[in-house]
Amino acid sequence: MRKFFSYFAVQTVNYVILVYNIRMIAAGNVPAALITDAFYASFLFYQIHRISHDKRTWGAFFGFVAGSVAGTFIGMQVKPL
């Protein structure tokens, strides 16, 4: 269960950043798009490193998927800069 919540949290943050980044690109807000892109790339690097050193489990898988859904929802609710 710990892996589920760990992967859920990481993926939620990742998708919040990604969705917000896409919204800033669509709005033509270049500075915000560049900043969120740097955050997304940094967080993705951490995530890839973590997954590559972890054993695959169903808890991690479901946490990863559920975090993606939650992150998209939250990212759509965040107000633009």
pLDDT for position 81? 63
Tally of domains within the chain: 1
Whether the pLDDT of residue 55 is over 90: the answer is no
Q: Which domain holds residue 8?
A: 2-77
Question: 23 in helix, strand or coil?
Answer: helix
pTM of the prediction? 0.78
Average pLDDT, the chain: 87
Are the C-beta atoms of residues 17 and 67 closer than 8 Å to each other?
Answer: no
At 12, list the tokens: 């939620």
Spatial CA neighbour of 55 closest among 2, 1, 19, 3 = 3
The whole-number average pLDDT for the span 67-80 is 85
